[in-house]
Structure 1
């Protein structure tokens, strides 16, 4: 099994940023895209756990940094032991006391790791998080890739692998207190 390719910590380019005075949220926009209005206060008591996809939530101003525990390459098997800026996941949960926790992990491993094992690791993570907090836990599926990305030689992710992982993930967490959110 090959190891996953390294990720970038931030996209190479970013669009301009627009501040919505009514929603207290900053959203990246371009000339061809409408500004998205939302109230980031809606998620003020939520914690998002994830990999590089989730880092963008705070990087682009969708959420405050306090609401995000994310790092490029973070996986279900490494999330509990990860130290992000001197804070572990257990410490983050204990100090932040979130009411809702959203977990999306596995993007970096799908296509390289065994999906059943990966889903099992997520189940263990959910069970550990459940033992630390009474927060409602949501496990978010891995989003699909575009046909162009799937054909790229630089991408090991295929829609087939993502669908297989998401199916196994939904099954693995079905016996836990978590709710599955399918983005597909």
Structure 2
């Protein structure tokens, strides 16, 4: 009987060992699961914080900071709303009909612009910023395009009231020359056909408002090769296509087209990098002189 009892006792002692082992396994598994979940949550939280931080950083391509010694403050409005370009394939450059462009002519002096009015966006506004031609009138606004120029109240008139560009032009009925440059903004997000439609509506309003003025339509200027290559919305091949339509519109309305872009293009058909070290579009005072040298040698004679 004693021997059988010993066997019974030994069996009872083995059972707690099995239970203990099972409990240990459960505890270890729980610890591993908890540690993995904690690590995953921590990494996920860190990743979320990093993504939030990155989303709050300003885009370098749309910075409004400008060197005090190079170019006027200018980043164009609504750039963030432009659609993505899906193709980076090079596009063919359309041939411009030189027969309807203002040809090179005898050089005029600065007094030629005494009765002139310049209309446009931040590029035109640079005439004021750099005090390039102080004897002329400039009506412009940063970010304006062929659509918004027709209705957006952005220009403060002599009474301090905000009015549209077109309404501001009414204050100068005796201007004999009007120079218009538009498009650096709109080409990034306005479809080409609509762009020309808006431009035409604006030009017809200007013609009705200043029936006796000589109206010059200036080409959209090129951007640097770096900007053109990195941002398809502003590709120089696209700018050339818009300019071809602007030229055709100018001919249709019987106005005068100035191919100012040719004075700015380097061997790559782009704005030289030295001209626009900040954003690839807006240029230094030196290139405003290039612009006006071109205008002085391309005027309608007689």
TM-score range, shorter chain: 0.7 to 0.9
- Kindly indicate which of the two structures has a greater share of residues assigned to helix: 2
Residue in 2 aligned with 1:14?
A: 69
Residue in 2 aligned with 1:130?
A: 207
Task: Choose 80-89 or 55-64, whichever is displaced more.
Answer: 80-89
Superposition map of 1:50-129 within 5 A: 50-64=120-134, 67-83=137-153, 84-85=155-156, 86-97=162-173, 98-129=175-206
2:257 aligned with 1:180, yes or no?
yes
Residues 150 and 159 in structure 1, CA contact (< 8 A), matched pair in contact too: yes
2:46 aligned with 1:46, yes or no?
no
Q: Which runs of 5+ in 1 are unaligned?
A: 16-37
Shift of 1:110: 1.2
- Kindly indicate which of the two structures has a greater share of residues assigned to strand: 1
The size of the alignment, in residue pairs, is 156
Partner SS state of residue 49, structure 1? strand
TM-score (norm 2): 0.47
Q: Which runs of 5+ in 2 are unaligned?
A: 1-60, 71-107, 157-161, 263-302
Q: Find the aligned partners of 1:76 and 1:7 in 2 and give their Cα distance.
A: 23
Residue in 2 aligned with 1:34?
A: none
TM-score (norm 1): 0.74
Partner SS state of residue 156, structure 1? helix
Q: Find the aligned partners of 1:65 and 1:118 in 2 and give their Cα distance.
A: 32
Larger Rg: 1 or 2?
A: 2
CA offsets, 1:38-79, max 9 Å, x none?
954331211111111111011100133961111111111122
- Summarize the Cα distance change of 1:66–1:179 in structure 2 as closer, same or farther, 3 Å threshold: closer
Residues 120 and 172 in structure 1, CA contact (< 8 A), matched pair in contact too: no
